[in-house]
Amino acid sequence: MHLILFFVFAGFCVAGAINLLLQSHPISSALSLIVVMTSLAVLYLLLGAEFLAAAQVIVYAGAIMVLFTFVVMLLNAGREERTMGSRTARKVGFPAVVAILAVIATVILRAQGLGVAGLRDGITSTTDLSKVLFTELLLPFEVTSVLILIAILGAVALASHGDGNPHGNRDPYGNPERTAGK
């Protein structure tokens, strides 16, 4: 059962990622990325990370991808023209990708002492997770809340009328009176 679930959802992951590359319309790419993320949530469950599986579905497949599809629809992003990248990307990039994959795969396959993953012993409950998170790692947790706040402020400043540009109104859609960053 374990093995079948792994193969099915690992297949979904890889197929979704390849489909993301092949689709030319951004909304199709976004949908395949959702497939990848939801399948990864199942793999997290197989690895005993139940809280992370839920967070993966809610945060990644839910919140972040809704943001992506929202922006795709807001900007009315159409079909991309396929130029297959620059010459540098083709000559250097793709061999580099293959090299990265080869190196990582070699290291993994040669590594000693990697065990097997079964659900018998390795389930991390949300209680265990939160005990560490809210005692030992309380300060980093609070710092991330500050990070989120700064990110919200930055997003609002960037996407608002002024574009965060104090020198005036180069924004074609903005209101000229209101473009001074306020």
Partner 1 sequence: MSSFFSQEIPISWYLLLSAVLFSLGVAGFLIKRNLITVFMSIELMLNAVNLSFVTFAHQWHAVKGQIFVLFVMVVAAAEAAVGLAIIIAVFRARATLAVDRIDLMKL
Segment 12-71, which members bind partner 1 (CB under 8 A)?
A: 13-14, 17-18, 20-21, 26, 29-30, 33, 36-37, 40, 43-44, 46-49, 51-52, 55-56, 59-60, 63-64, 67-68, 71
CA distance 8 to 134: 36
Q: Does position 170 bind partner 1 by CB under 8 A?
A: yes
Out of 8, 89, 138, 180, the only residue in the binding site for partner 1 (CB under 8 A) is 89
- Provide Rg for the chain, Cα atoms: 22
For 67-100, letters b (16+ CB in 10 Å) and e give: ebbeebeeeeeeeeeeeeeeeeeeeeeeeeeeee
Q: Is 34 exposed, middle or buried (0-12, 13-18, 19+ CB in 10 A)?
A: buried
Q: Which CB sits closer to partner 1, 115 or 182?
A: 115
Contact positions with partner 1 (CB under 8 A) in 96-135: 96-98, 100-101, 104-105, 108-109, 111, 114-118, 121-122, 124, 128-129, 132-133
Q: Using CB under 8 A, count the residues that bind partner 1.
A: 91
